[in-house]
Amino acid sequence: MSYQFTIIVPVFNEKDCLPELFIQLKEYLPKASLSTKILLVDDGSSDGSSELIQQFCLENEHFGCLIFEQNFGKGAALKAAFDHCDTEYLGYLDADLQTYPEDFERLLPLLGEYDLVTGWRKERKDSVVKKISSKVGNGIRIMFTNDQMHDTGCPLKVMKTSYAKKIPMFKGLQRFLPAMILLQNGIITEVEIPHYPRLAGVSKYSFKNRFMGPLLDCFAYVWMKKSYINYKVRSADE
């Protein structure tokens, strides 16, 4: 089968969320506006998530997986998936199901005009501490990147794979996907999407890693921006 769109799902210790995640992904596939496959990336889970993922992918068409030997972080999981992807378009979704696969249909129609479309969780269903820490981290990022996105941390995005593959690997890259598309002279936008309470498991984030992590990663981004070369090949003789 020829696929047009790959949904990437980074997973780290989300065993309790996986059964419902699998159901929602399977239900979305027949409704998707593009021919779609799923790539689950287990980031060194220690709770049995990787075993569930491998078994599910063996038993279900349109599903594949990458299993890390240890925990490397969401940025590494996304970068590995970008490099592995062979479809024209890709998107990503968190395993905690605070955003739903069906909402890709709010973003995908805009990929003709834009190179990246990100969700905006305008009505967050999170704790007060999580909302405040995210707002602070978001404000810091905008000061460094000027990407003007309200919610770059939203775990629902779609983009053209050709742009994603040119994003270099660095820690925290998931926070800078819109900014990295801008470095390639790409065009970005955001769309309001619903946000849902976490059904199971626990959040992997705290005020410390939502504030200090983004702050330190911003300095890495500044270095990356100065060093980044957006080359284009005029011709190739293979």
Tens digits of residue pLDDT in 33-48: 999 999 999 999 999 9
Top-confidence residue, 71 or 238: 71
pLDDT of residue 46: 95
Q: Supply the CATH classification number for the domain 5-227.
A: 3.90.550.10
Q: What is the pLDDT of residues 131-181, one digit of tens each?
A: 555 565 665 656 566 666 777 778 899 999 999 999 887 777 777 888 889
- Report which of 169, 187, 199 is spatially closest to residue 94, judged by C-alpha positions: 199
Residues 6+ apart with CB under 8 A from 170: 75, 217, 220, 221, 224
Domain ranges of the chain: 5-227
- Report which of 144, 84, 78 is spatially closest to residue 116, judged by C-alpha positions: 78
Q: What's the CA dihedral at 56, 60, 63, 64 to 10 degrees? A: 60
pLDDT of residue 210: 56
pLDDT of residue 145: 60
Q: What is the pLDDT of residues 58-96, one digit of tens each?
A: 999 999 999 999 999 998 999 999 999 999 999 999 999
Mean of the per-residue pLDDT values of the chain: 84
Task: For the full predicted model, state whether its pTM sits above 0.85.
Answer: no
Could you give the CA distance from residue 4 to residue 140 in angstroms, rounded to a whole number? 35
